[in-house]
Amino acid sequence: MIDQQMTYEAAKQELSSIVSRLQAGNLTLDESITLFTRGKQLSKFCLDKLNETEAKITKVISLSEDNIAEENFIPNEQ
Domain coordinates in residue numbering, the chain: 8-72
Q: Is-above-0.75 flag for pTM?
A: no
Which of 24-28, 68-72, 74-78 ranks highest by mean pLDDT? 24-28
Residue percentage of the chain with pLDDT more than 70? 71
The amino acid at residue 67 is N
Helix (H) or strand (E) holding 50: helix 29-56
In the chain, the percentage of residues whose pLDDT exceeds 90 is 58
Q: What is the mean pLDDT of residues 41-68?
A: 73
Q: Exposure string (b/e) for 26-38, b if CB count within 10 Å is 16 or more?
A: eeeeeeeeebeee
